[in-house]
């Protein structure tokens, strides 16, 4: 379920018409479907129902307080990568005892804050960090629960900027170095409780094969660590890919489809079918850290066309959203379907570049793409913008951050106000 569909020629999020929202709240505007978020969370939970498991939603994908609150009420734990994200989770009513803390560069302040809040586990990425965690915990007179992130050296076959499980990536500890590290930690680090093992091989994986490879490679290590040190959990990370090319609940109109051969949907049911048997019987709790899968297809960025500019080589549609609002195309060559809010009446298409107002040539949402024609004043939706969208937005070019709306059924709630010009200079002296 993606929650977005045409009804009587107008694009809706659940039972709310997007054009009306844009009229009321302006553009650019992020709109999220609560039903889709809950549906994805629930389906993943069901796919893992055969084993003792917990879903720790990766907060960095979309950290709006209302999104976190929604997931907390459904029983989600949270995977955080900063003290700021822990603060958000707590503000949203999430339980720190169900938080895991990832990341290669935790600061002393973040470690102290997380220890005080009583998080479930620090997922540590180097021996140096583990020793420092031991030292800080010792100074506070507490014991820090920890897991080490193993780098299984498996190719996730995804974009190089979001691949994390190869030896040349900065993440985790080499597979071969794990047994020695746990042995030294158990003997020397009296303020560490070795609670689990963690891995995360990359993001936007569109095939189950790399997950299988990593799970099969690491499972014997989990057995061994449980036997020797009594670890309780194994986090197999996030990374489940979503479909960015063509996906509307009401079916995909043929003018829209730009199906790519390399992007095949990895269904959550298949993920569960393949992994559950391989995870069963290990005797540890399995943690998952999905971000994109939960929220990616649950959000759109609505933008308005300002100008059409016909150059000698190309036609540009200039819209009021820019790479500062949604950076995925510029940063990862990310694809977003571009859909008019008013359903096109004919199958006619024009080849255009859709670009933002930012003074960067990388500020585009598509290049040479055949789209239904839209004109200045018309609004379009950049689909599948719920993950790594607003969270990566910046004030570059001194542009206020867009507003965010959460839709539940026929109710739309403003969950973040659009920034004002005064907000832009807040804090400057
Ligand atoms: C980013 C991240 C995730 C979530 O990745 P998705 O591809 O959004 O599922 C999970 N775990 C860790 C450690 C991460 O850094």
User: What is the C-alpha separation between 365 and 331, in angstroms, rounded?
Assistant: 11
Rg (CA), the chain: 23
Q: How buried is residue 182: exposed, middle or buried, by Cβ count under 10 Å (0-12/13-18/19+)? A: buried
**Other Cβ atoms within 10 Å of 261 Cβ, number:** 5
Residue 157: predicted pLDDT: 75
Q: With a 6 A CB cut-off, is 85 part of the ligand 1 pocket?
A: no
Pairwise CA distance, residues 76 & 61, whole Å: 14
Separation of CA 285 and ligand 1 centre (Å): 18
- pTM to 2 decimals? 0.95
Q: Which burial class, exposed, middle or buried, applies to 338 when counting CB atoms under 10 A from its CB (0-12, 13-18, 19+)?
A: buried
CA of 264 from ligand 1 middle (Å) equals 20
pLDDT at site 257 = 38
- Ligand 1 atom nearest to CA at 60: 1
- pLDDT (tens digit per residue) in 403-416: 999 999 999 999 99
Ligand 1 within 6 A of CB of 28: no
Is the shortest distance between the CB of 60 and ligand 1 below 6 Å? yes
Averaged pLDDT score across all residues of the chain: 93
Nearest partner of 171 among 216, 221, 126, judged by Cα = 126
Q: Is the pLDDT of residue 252 over 60?
A: no
Domain architecture of the chain: domains with CATH: 4-12+22-28+297-424 (2.40.37.10), 103-288 (3.20.20.10)
Q: With a 6 A CB cut-off, is 292 part of the ligand 1 pocket?
A: yes
Pocket-testing residue among 76, 85, 233, 237, ligand 1, by greatest number of atoms within 8 A of Cβ: 237
CA-238 nearest atom, ligand 1: 9
User: What is the pLDDT averaged over residues 101-113?
Assistant: 97
For the beta carbon of residue 25, count every other beta carbon within 10 angstroms.
19
pLDDT digit string (tens) for 335-361?
999 999 999 988 889 999 999 999 998
CA atoms lying within 13 Å on the CB side of residue 85: 24
Contact 338, 371 (CB under 8 A): yes
Task: Determine whether 359 is an active site residue.
Answer: yes
């Amino acid at each position: 379920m993606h929650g977005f569909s045409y009804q009587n020629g107008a694009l809706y999020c659940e039972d709310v018409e997007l054009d009306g929202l844009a009229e009321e709240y302006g553009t650019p505007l992020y709109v999220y479907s609560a039903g889709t978020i809950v549906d994805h969370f629930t389906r993943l939970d069901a796919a893992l129902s055969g084993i003792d498991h917990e879903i720790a939603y990766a907060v960095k994908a979309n950290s709006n307080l209302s999104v976190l609150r929604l997931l907390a009420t459904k029983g989600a734990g949270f995977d955080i990568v900063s003290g700021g994200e822990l603060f958000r989770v707590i503000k949203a009513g999430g339980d720190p005892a169900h938080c895991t803390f990832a990341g290669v560069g935790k600061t002393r302040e973040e470690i102290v804050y997380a220890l005080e809040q009583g998080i479930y586990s620090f997922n540590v990425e180097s021996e140096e960090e583990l020793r420092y965690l031991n030292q800080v915990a010792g100074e506070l007179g507490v014991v820090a629960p920890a897991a080490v992130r193993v780098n299984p050296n498996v190719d996730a076959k995804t974009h190089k900027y979001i691949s994390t499980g190869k030896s040349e990536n900065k993440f985790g500890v080499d597979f071969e170095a794990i047994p020695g590290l746990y042995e030294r930690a158990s003997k020397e680090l009296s303020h560490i409780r070795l609670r689990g093992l963690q891995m995360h091989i990359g993001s936007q994986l569109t095939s189950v094969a790399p997950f299988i490879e990593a799970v099969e490679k690491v499972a014997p290590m989990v057995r061994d660590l449980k036997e020797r040190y009594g670890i309780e959990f194994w986090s197999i990370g996030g990374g489940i890919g979503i479909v960015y090319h063509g996906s509307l609940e009401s079916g995909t109109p043929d003018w829209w489809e730009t199906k790519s051969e390399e992007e095949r949907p990895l269904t959550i049911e298949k993920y569960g079918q393949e992994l559950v048997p391989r995870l069963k019987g290990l005797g540890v709790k399995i943690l998952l850290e999905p971000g994109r899968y939960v929220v990616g297809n649950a959000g759109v960025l609505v933008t308005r066309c300002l100008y059409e500019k016909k150059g000698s080589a190309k036609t540009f549609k200039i819209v009021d959203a820019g790479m500062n609002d949604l950076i995925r195309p510029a940063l990862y060559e990310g694809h977003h379907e571009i859909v008019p809010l008013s359903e096109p009446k004919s199958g006619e298409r024009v080849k255009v570049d859709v670009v933002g107002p930012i003074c960067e040539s990388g500020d585009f949402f598509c290049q040479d793409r055949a789209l239904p024609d839209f004109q200045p004043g018309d609004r379009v939706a950049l689909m599948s913008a719920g993950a790594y969208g607003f969270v990566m937005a910046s004030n570059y070019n001194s542009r206020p951050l867009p507003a965010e709306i959460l839709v539940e059924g026929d109710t739309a709630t403003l969950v973040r106000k659009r920034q004002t010009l005064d907000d832009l200079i807040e804090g400057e002296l």
